[in-house]
Amino acid sequence: MRQHLFLTLALLLALCISPVLQAEDQPGYVKGTGVILRANHATYYESLAKLQENTPLAIVSRKGDWVEVRLPVRITGWIQKDRVDDSFTVLDAICPVYTAPGNFYTAFYTAEQGEKLTPEGKTDGDWACVYAPANATGWIHADYVGEGVPVVSTPSPAAAASPAASSADTQDAGASAALESATLAARTLALRQEQERQELEMKQEQERLDALRQQADELKEETARHNSELTELQNEAQRLEALRDEAREKARQAAAEREAALLQEQREQEDLLARQKAAEEKARMVEADSARWEAEAQAMAAKLAAAKEEARLREQAAREEAAAIAAEQEIAEQRAREALEQVHSAEEQLAVTERKQQELSAQVATLQKEVQSAEEQADLLRLERERIEATSREEAARLAQVRREAERLEAEKEEQAARVEATRLEAEQLTAEQAAQAAKVEAARREQERLQEQLASADADLEQLRTQIQRREQERAELELLRKEAEASEGNDEALTQEIEALKAKAAEQREAQAARQAELEALRQAAENAQTPAPEPELPEHAPEPEPEPEVAYEPPPAAATRPQLTRYQGKIYPLTRAMPEATHALWVVRDGKQVAVCYLTSKRINLNDWRGVAVEVTGIQDTPKGLSYPVLQVRSITRQ
């Protein structure tokens, strides 16, 4: 009886001291001493309390190795003051309860709007300490949680009866026990009813709490996302601030550079104006000199034309005389066999030859006067050349080329002298063989010497013309240099460019005129050479040494001819033919309607056309139209870079 009574009392005691169980909760107890109750299901979460062995528990749920239980003891937590009013009633939709003052600690409970909390009394800044509600939960490792009611030890039957107890005491104890049993039964019934009511309320509260917990989790995620976005915006703001500072620095540097550029532009503009004035002054000087040189060149051309005509007449007379001498030689050979008759005829012929010699002597005197006049003009031109050479040392390379040309001419003169010497030896041989013809041979030798002097005079005139050409080329190079400097400094200076182009055109016309005069002198020299000996002039080799091309202009002296050839000009770019033809090695191309179109074929024995490959040029030469070709063939005489 007593054992049954003690078991009933133990059960009632467990129900009184344990938390109110909800319908879905399971009874349990703590296994072990000093078991830690944590804020969440992991060992790194904060500790809420330490529980003693056999502490009754209300098990809410399980998750892995952890068990969620109602708080078995009174535990405090921390909330933000602005979430509650003065009576600690929650104002916001939710009010998390943290393990310590700070939102970086773990929230183990979430109070809803309108819920009243019990303050503990302590504060920390914007935080207040409160008691956790009875329905708050914590987590315990499953190894320290037992299911069911804890086992309570009961006294043995032997210890229940005391040998000294009397029967009266026994009766009083029975009555008292019956009264207590009835009282306990009534309290148990009331407690069960209260338990059922509270379980229903707790169930409703748990459903509401689960909904709030879900909202809290969503709010946490939303807050974390907002914090991440805020961090990104802050980083972006810092980056934009750095970019703004960098842009300001670049703007400051750009302003400084712009000021420097404006100063530099002003200095360049002043320099350009000074150069433009110098160029205009130089252009006026060049134009005046060009007019003077043009007059001198015209006078020289007239003299050369007269000398050329006279040389032609003398050449014709010499040829007729040579033919007559040949005929007379045949007659002399026949008359040599006839002795006295041939001697008489030779004496008469000698008299005729002496008269002709006197006439030729008079002509030689006239030519000597012309040569003296030409030498005086050459002295004046030589002084002019020395002045230009003193101010233009950079033309040393061109002078060297002229020297090489002079050496070539000297070699040709030596070759001509050798031919004259051979002719003289032949004349001496004829004199030895036929004594009667000695006077005729002597006259022919003197005629050859006269022609040689004329050739020397023509060579001097040619040298003078070459000097003038060189001087004009130098002036053209200076004008080209000034034009390039003007274009580099000021691209839109159209007036100066047009003036320079006009000067270039005048220089080109002067070059063409000088080329024509040089061709005439070359023809005169060729005629003189032909007159020195009846033997035909040997042809030049097919591949003569080519002069080095100048940077901007290539020039080929025109071939010897009695009259000035008709020159043709084309503009375009030079490219070699894929397969060279006998008539041409290159072609001139232009762009028409966006396509490359061939204009003519090119050939030249003196100018290396490969040096001008792919360059925009203007070519000048003699045009020919062979049969069977689609385009005309131009024998290039000069090339000018565009």
Q: Please report, for the domain that includes residue 606, its CATH number.
A: 2.40.50.140
Q: pLDDT over 90 for what percent of the chain?
A: 23
Query: Mean pLDDT highest for which of 264-273, 442-451, 479-488, 498-507?
Result: 264-273
In a domain, 533, yes or no: no
Q: How many CB atoms lie within 10 A of CB 524?
A: 26
Contact in structure between 389 and 395 (CB atoms under 8 Å): yes
Q: How many domains does the chain have?
A: 1
Outline where DSSP puts E strands in 101-209: 107-112, 118-124, 127-131, 137-141, 145-147
Give the C-alpha separation, 251 to 509, whole Å.
55
DSSP code of 259? H
In a domain, 605, yes or no: yes
Both tokens assigned to 425? 């030896």
From the DSSP assignment, how many helices (H) and strands (E) are in the chain?
A: 7, 18
636 forms bridges with which residues in the sheet? 621
Both tokens assigned to 588? 């001139």
Q: What digits encode the pLDDT tens for the residues 90-137?
A: 999 999 999 999 988 999 999 999 999 999 999 999 999 999 998 899
**Quick one: average pLDDT of 169-184?**
60
- Provide the residue range defining the domain that includes 585: 568-641
Q: What is the CA radius of gyration of the chain?
A: 65
Q: Report how far apart the first and last C-alpha atoms of the chain are (Å, whole number).
A: 135
Alpha carbon 164 to its chain centroid, in Å, reads 120
Higher-confidence residue of 528 and 242: namely 242
pLDDT over threshold 90, residue 171: no
In a domain, 602, yes or no: yes
Q: What digits encode the pLDDT tens for the residues 129-142?
A: 999 998 899 999 99
Where do we find the tokens 């024509």?
A: 516
What pLDDT does 165 receive? 43
Where do we find the tokens 């040709």?
A: 412
Give the C-alpha separation, 103 to 77, whole Å.
12
Which pLDDT band holds residue 578 (cuts at 50, 70, 90)? confident
What pLDDT does 303 receive? 78
**Quick one: average pLDDT of 321-329?**
75
Q: CA 377 → CA 101, 261, 384, distances in Å?
A: 118, 54, 11
What pLDDT does 39 receive? 94
140 forms bridges with which residues in the sheet? 67
What pLDDT does 339 receive? 60
Give the burial class of 521: count Cβ atoms within 10 A of its Cβ; 0-12 exposed, 13-18 middle, 19 or more buried: buried
Q: What digits encode the pLDDT tens for the residues 330-379?
A: 776 777 677 677 657 767 777 787 787 777 778 777 777 776 776 777 77
In a domain, 580, yes or no: yes
Which pLDDT band holds residue 166 (cuts at 50, 70, 90)? very low
Which pLDDT band holds residue 564 (cuts at 50, 70, 90)? low
Both tokens assigned to 454? 């004329």
In a domain, 246, yes or no: no
Give the burial class of 394: count Cβ atoms within 10 A of its Cβ; 0-12 exposed, 13-18 middle, 19 or more buried: exposed
Give the C-alpha separation, 180 to 19, whole Å.
24
pLDDT over threshold 60, residue 493: no
What is the pLDDT of the chain when averaged over all its residues? 76
Helix runs in 392-437, H state only: 396-433
Give the C-alpha separation, 455 to 472, whole Å.
25
In a domain, 615, yes or no: yes
The torsion region of residue 224 among left (phi > 0), alpha (psi -120 to 50) and beta comes to: alpha
**Closest Cα partner for 439 from 361, 347, 339, 534?**
347
pLDDT over threshold 70, residue 617: yes
Q: pLDDT over 70 for what percent of the chain?
A: 74
Burial code (b: 16+ CB inside 10 Å, e: under 16) for 213-229 equals: eeebeeeeeeeeeeeee
In a domain, 515, yes or no: no
The CA-based dihedral angle spanning residues 359, 363, 368, 370, taken in that order and rounded to the nearest 10 degrees: 160
56 forms bridges with which residues in the sheet? 29
**Closest Cα partner for 470 from 416, 398, 420, 413?**
398
The packing angle between helices 167-336 and 438-489, to 10°, is: 160
Give the C-alpha separation, 381 to 398, whole Å.
18
Please give the helix or strand (H or E) that residue 48 lies within, else none. Answer: strand 47-51
DSSP code of 200? H
pLDDT over threshold 60, residue 536: no
Give the C-alpha separation, 557 to 621, whole Å.
10
Contact in structure between 108 and 77 (CB atoms under 8 Å): yes
Q: What digits encode the pLDDT tens for the residues 369-403?
A: 776 776 777 778 778 777 777 776 776 677 677 77
pLDDT over threshold 80, residue 447: no
Higher-confidence residue of 77 and 186: namely 77
Where do we find the tokens 């528990």?
A: 57
The torsion region of residue 628 among left (phi > 0), alpha (psi -120 to 50) and beta comes to: left
Q: Which residue type is seen at 484? A: K
Both tokens assigned to 193? 């009813």
pLDDT over threshold 90, residue 620: yes
Q: Following DSSP, what letter does each residue of 565-592 receive, concatenated? A: PPPEEEEEEEEE-SS--SS-SEEEEEEE
**Quick one: average pLDDT of 620-630?**
87
Q: Which residue type is seen at 66? A: W
Alpha carbon 153 to its chain centroid, in Å, reads 97
Higher-confidence residue of 538 and 425: namely 425
Q: Which residue type is seen at 265? A: E
**Quick one: average pLDDT of 448-458?**
76
In a domain, 180, yes or no: no
What pLDDT does 529 receive? 58
What pLDDT does 428 receive? 76
Where do we find the tokens 């270039």?
A: 504
- Phi first, then psi: what are they for 53, rounded to 5°? -65, 145
DSSP code of 337? T
Helix runs in 490-534, H state only: 494-532
**Quick one: average pLDDT of 592-599?**
87
pLDDT over threshold 80, residue 610: yes
**Quick one: average pLDDT of 419-427?**
75
DSSP code of 81? G
Q: In what order do the strands lie in the sheet with 127-131?
A: 107-112, 94-98, 76-80, 127-131, 118-124
Least trusted range by pLDDT, from 249-258, 350-359, 604-613: 350-359
Q: How many CB atoms lie within 10 A of CB 368?
A: 13
- The tally of CA atoms less than 13 A away on the side-chain side of residue 281 is 6
β 633-641/616-624 pair status: antiparallel
Which pLDDT band holds residue 157 (cuts at 50, 70, 90)? very low
Q: What digits encode the pLDDT tens for the residues 14-44?
A: 444 444 445 468 899 999 889 999 999 999 9
